[in-house]
Structure 1
């Protein structure tokens, strides 16, 4: 029989960004913390993304979480020593209806959105022909996702959090997590395993409609060695972020893109890119959904992302350095927060915006557990 692993006020299962956010918040409140992670480091959605905290484009709870997360990102970047910038996001409009949405969004959000002329867009980012204008979302953040989660975990370990790497959580019950290395006892357990909610609570996952969303993403050389400070998004992005849904012109964008490019709408394209600290661009992404995902990768998805990104950048082609599949939890509601048993919280960001919202979400979860700030 495995021996006991000890005890903590809060045991977090999952060392992705959502789990780390809860571990950080628990430490901030003076609680003892243990983190259980089946890998020897985070390798899931928390490292396979754009590193883009796209808070301005959210609404409702997501917008509140995102706004509250910004200060924590800045503080952790300084304390844990990872790359972080308030770069903003440049939205590129290549059609009149897209430009109308951005103007309407600026009216709704005030100083959070700054309209740009076509010339002002071109001053900030490399673009091809056909750009009519755009908008700057100045408050959005970027980090290097390949480094941030690992740096935060090291920082939290240095503050006293006990990390149990290469340790699988086999069973959860009130007050205890039974793992492959022994049992951890806890006042509170937070399950933050993203799309793997169904591995422990299949009925809960089914009730919330949790599925897995598969993305196709690539890392390419920046054309001409260009430096691109902000994140860059396009008209396809307008269809994927909840904040734009309040804009009266959005249905026209959806109708036109569906008619003009049903192939790209069908693969769930969110045409965008960010630049990594090494100068390469992370580009993408496509979206496919299922409870269990097929293992076979369709080269047409990468070809579509490459072609559309090259056109956006105004170049003939791009040199690919890496390709990968990202997977995150998806459900009709953007957040899953549930109490399947006494002292147990299941927390999953089911909308692909964990980097954006986790450090604003975790404090409210800890509030709900009765731990004072």
Structure 2
């Protein structure tokens, strides 16, 4: 048996790493357990978009705090981060109205753009674009690089990582694994949608499901550089800050009439550019406890078609396709449960873990009294 840990974190995705990083700052001895030999889940299968401006309520508060942590940790751990923000491209008057309302609410966090202003930020964009907005606070990272670099850096700060270690049970003061029991003063369970495997009663009480995403990596038209992340009118229906604007209702009504197939797959049309120059595009959303393993080609083709339309190009060359899966709970952005004394179950149940995890972690550790 190893010496007792101050904190055991179950799960080495971004939510788990955020809690480990916060605990290191508090001088705690930390052990991180993960069933794989590296992070391979939702934390590396995303856009790498720290999309804080479009959030609302607690998510906005956590996102603003997380922004500073991302910048600090990028300098410490040596991974790439972009401060180019986000451009929201509007292709209809009701979308322009949403962005005008949003700018009025948020002040300097939102900079309205006319069509020429959008094109000044984006080298290639559809002639359908009539306006937009720039969200200067948003960040981008390469999740495949950043998550691995964070784990490596944390290990150098004294965090003990036990990879290929499956957790079989959790109780106050102890975490049971396939490699033995780890004693701990405090435990954070950060396993995303797999909370239903480890603590099904917690998952059931919170209504946790799996949200299945369809995403792709494609070549960039004419090898152009897209500094900001890019959102669309469909994004206005996905992010709470934008969706709360009165004109978002008109956007939904128009899309319901004109493009119902996009709403049927719950598309959030957006993209980011990887450091290697390719674009990460997506995404669609499907909810359930267990998903069939078969991907239908029409959904993928829909993502390709709509991205090409947003860019104003004829076709995109696909480099890779994948599924993302994250925890989802209707009407809740975060799961924070206390199944046993000294144990917290934490999951971001809204697909914004990269955006909020570093802001959420201090609140969770405060609730544990872990200092």
Q: Provide the TM-score with structure 1 as the length reference.
A: 0.98
Q: Does 1:89 align with 2:86?
A: yes
Q: Which residue of 1 aligns with 2:310?
A: 312
Q: Partners of 1:7 and 1:39 in 2: how far apart?
A: 23
Q: Which residue of 2 aligns with 1:346?
A: 345
Q: Which residue of 1 aligns with 2:183?
A: 185
* 1:227-268 CA distance string (max 9 Å, x none): 000000000000000002331111000111111111110001
Structure 1, unpaired ranges of 5+:
none
Is 1:5–1:183's contact at 8 Å kept on the other side of the alignment?
no
Query: 2:329 aligns to what SS in structure 1?
Result: strand
Query: Superposed, which structure 2 residues align to 1:1-373 within 5 Å?
Result: 4-125=1-122, 126-332=124-330, 333-372=332-371
Runs of 4+, deviation exceeding 4 Å: none
Q: Partners of 2:33 and 2:360 in 1: how far apart?
A: 20
Give 1:201 deviation, angstroms.
1.3
Q: Partners of 2:218 and 2:171 in 1: how far apart?
A: 46
* 1:95-130 CA distance string (max 9 Å, x none): 000000000000000000000010110111110111
Give 1:371 deviation, angstroms.
2.9
Q: Partners of 2:45 and 2:2 in 1: how far apart?
A: 31
Q: Partners of 2:44 and 2:302 in 1: how far apart?
A: 23
Query: 2:276 aligns to what SS in structure 1?
Result: coil
Structure 2, unpaired ranges of 5+:
none
Is 1:69–1:359's contact at 8 Å kept on the other side of the alignment?
yes
Q: Partners of 1:215 and 1:310 in 2: how far apart?
A: 19
Q: Partners of 1:5 and 1:163 in 2: how far apart?
A: 13
Q: Provide the TM-score with structure 2 as the length reference.
A: 0.98
Q: Partners of 1:6 and 1:239 in 2: how far apart?
A: 49
Query: 1:116 aligns to what SS in structure 2?
Result: strand
* 1:308-348 CA distance string (max 9 Å, x none): 00111111000110000000000020000010011110000
Q: Partners of 1:64 and 1:360 in 2: how far apart?
A: 7
Q: Partners of 1:311 and 1:40 in 2: how far apart?
A: 39
Give 1:5 deviation, angstroms.
4.4
Give 1:57 deviation, angstroms.
0.3
Give 1:6 deviation, angstroms.
4.0
Give 1:7 deviation, angstroms.
2.3
What RMSD in Å do the two structures reach over aligned CA positions?
Answer: 0.7
Q: How many residues align?
A: 369
